[in-house]
Amino acid sequence: HDALPIWFPLRALVTAPDRGAWRDHLTRCNAAQGQVTTVLTFNVADALTRTVQVTSQRIVGVDGQTRLLSTLVDITEHKRTEDALRESEARYRELVQNVNSAIIRWTADGRITFFNEFAESLFGYRAEEILGRHVGVLVPEFESTGTDLRHLVRIRLDRRVRAVRGGTGETA
């Protein structure tokens, strides 16, 4: 990349959709005592744009003229990574919420921290009602045949607590 001359007018690089944000940046710089930061999209070549973080502040030159000193940081890849992560998280959330299986997450001490939509319909609780409660509320004390099921919750929680305390990350 070629360096821009120190006097280069940055407005020539700002994409059309960001020109209003650029004007706002300049207005805030004129009113501010310190630095002002804005993220803008710049045209850098034919059909090539870059996302740039522009930090500017007013300075007074040796000639007494007020000028704008700006630092530009190309954050294009960082922005793309953030956008990809957001999209991935959204797909994951949609998958977990809409899967035809109950997905429930709880802490080592049995407090429910996640309850998907299928779990809501299966157990009859809304997530807001069940989050923070003990997982034992979801397991009946006895099976329809009379078998005691309370020990299942205790065994599972005991294994998780041992794994956390042991630092192995594995259940016993």
**Position 170 confidence tier, pLDDT thresholds 50, 70, 90:** very low
Nearest CA to 135 out of 163, 158, 117 is that of 158
Taking residues 15-35, what's their average pLDDT?
A: 91
Q: What is the pLDDT of residue 157?
A: 55
Phi (first) and psi of residue 147, to 5 degrees: -70, 135
Contacts of 65 (CB under 8 A, 6+ apart): none
Q: What is the pLDDT of residue 79?
A: 95
Instruction: Check whether 161 has a pLDDT greater than 70.
Output: no
Contacts of 21 (CB under 8 A, 6+ apart): 14, 38, 40
Q: How far is CA 81 from CA 52, 76, 78, 85, 92, in A?
A: 14, 9, 5, 6, 16
d(CA 58, CA 124): 61
Residue found by looking up tokens 């802490």 in the block: 107
pLDDT per residue as tens digits for the range 58-87: 988 899 888 888 899 999 999 999 999 999
Considering the entire predicted model, what is its pTM? 0.55
Q: What is the pLDDT of residue 164?
A: 47
For residue 123, how many C-alpha atoms fall within 13 Å in the half-sphere facing its CB? 22
Q: What is the pLDDT of residue 30?
A: 87
The token duo for 105 is: 């997450």
Q: Is 69 helix (H, G, I), strand (E, B) or coil?
A: strand
